[in-house]
Each structure stands twice: as structure tokens, then as C-alpha cells.
Amino acid sequence: MHIPSVAEMAMSGTSPDILFWVGCSGSFDQRAQKITKAFATILQKTGINFAILGKEEACTGDPARRAGNEFMFQMMAYQNIQTLNNYGIKKIVTACPHCFNIFRNEYPELGGNYEVVHHTTFLQQLIDEGKIKLKEGGTFKGKRITYHDSCYLGRANDIYEAPRKVLEALDAELVEMKRCRSKGLCCGAGGAQMFKEEEPGVKRINQERIEEALGTESTIVAAACPFCNTMLTDGVKAQEKEESVKVMDVAELVAASME
């Protein structure tokens, strides 16, 4: 895929309407790269004028701040803000709730003021505007799908409807887990837990969560966060259900259902 970088566009005297912030996971994690490709494919098919930072993109500093290293976070944040402001970026779309949350709620006090949109909200807007054309009798028509609320999307930013509306547009049967929306259970990776060993306990959080998901008898567990995706996928593997249950990002479901 050829995705223009902001630097390339600047050299030709143009600028993107939207910066697609890929994030560490979407850049380096093999599984999350598929989510990045799926979302970029949707943006290209719908004719959105977008670009990425490419090699100029650095980590937002979210894991550093969550783990308590405020100094490192501020260094990383100031570097990103300088890059974004130099290019005059106004609108950022990202598929990672952690990046979304920190840009939206924590960058403004350091001088980084942008319109920040999570990819599920953006997909819902594109569907509402008729820009995303879905196949007749879609790929997932009638399939049972359960949706896992990411903590940083749901409880931290109150975004519950957008991902569900996107899934409903696929004509799938959306089945809720017992703990959902504001009562949703964390996948076990939030707050920099992704990068450390868990404290000793009786059961891993992702095991507990995937048992709830499997209890809905869904064939697809939909996620909207690369970290949640990793944790839920590990949970499915531990239950030896890889053949019958797939963990997919909302963007992947849409990309597979487009005309």
C-alpha cells in the first residue's frame, strides 16, 4: 500500500485533512498491523485525504505516564506536539484508545490542541454519510458478535454507541456480555499493564473476560483496541477455541464487508 506521509505532502505544497495516527502497536505488532491495513484500506476506498507521520511518529508517552514516569512522558509529548504543530495538523484519527485518550484529554495542557477522533466514531460517521457502501447480505449477516468495551474508549471517554452502531450496520446479531458499557471489564492490559507481569492472583483478567465472551455463544469477539485484541486473542487460545471464535477489530469487520 502506498500511504502518503505528511512530509511528502508538505514537500508538494499540500496537507492532509486527517492525520492517521498509527501508534506503536499498529506499527510494530504483527496482529495489529492487519488492523492498520484494514483501516487504511477503508480510508482509501472512501476517498479520504489522509496521511501518516511515518518515521516522524513517536510513542505518545501513554505507557510511560501510566507507569509513573512523568518526565519521560513530557519529553515525548513535547516532541510530538512540536512535530504536529510544525505541520499544522488539526484533526487526528487513531485506532488506539490509549493514543486517542491521551491526545484528547492530556495533550491540550501541554499545548497540543487537536480534534481527535477514534476510528469507530469515524467509521460510524462514514456509514451515516453513505460513504461506506456495504455488500448486500453482508459477510457477517446474522452472525453472533459480542463487543468488548475498551476502558479508555468507554469509561474514560464515554464512547459506547459508535462501535455498536457500526456492528449493527453489518446486519450482525449483537449479543452483549453481562459486564458491558460502563460496567465493562478490563481486558487486563490497560494502565501500562500490557508491558509488565501481572500480580499474583487466582485467575488472569483476560481469561475471566473471554469466558464471559464465550458465554454469549458468539463466533466473533469485536474489539476496538489493539491491546484488547491481543489479550482477548490470548484468552481464546488458552481456551483452545481458535477454530470457532475469532477476535477482530471493528475496522477489519467493516473492511471485509465493503463493496
Question: pLDDT grade, residue 18 (50/70/90)?
Answer: very high
What pLDDT does residue 192 have? 76
Residue 109, pLDDT > 80, answer yes
What pLDDT does residue 194 have? 78
Q: What is the pLDDT of residues 185-216, one digit of tens each?
A: 999 887 777 777 878 888 888 999 999 999 99
Q: Do domains 6-123 and 133-257 have the same CATH topology?
A: yes
What are 181's three cell numbers?
458499557
For the structural domain made of 6-123, what CATH number should be given? 3.40.50.1860
Cα distance between residue 122 and residue 250, in whole Å: 11
What pLDDT does residue 76 have? 97
Residue 243, pLDDT > 80, answer yes
HSE-CB for 198 with a 13 A CA cutoff: 14
What pLDDT does residue 180 have? 93
Which CATH number among 3.40.1420, 3.90.15, 3.40.1130, 3.40.50 corresponds to the domain 133-257? 3.40.50
Mean pLDDT confidence for 74-83: 97
Q: What is the pLDDT of residues 94-107, one digit of tens each?
A: 999 999 999 999 99
Q: What is the pLDDT of residues 44-70, one digit of tens each?
A: 999 999 999 999 999 999 999 999 999
Domains of the chain, by residue range, sit at 6-123, 133-257
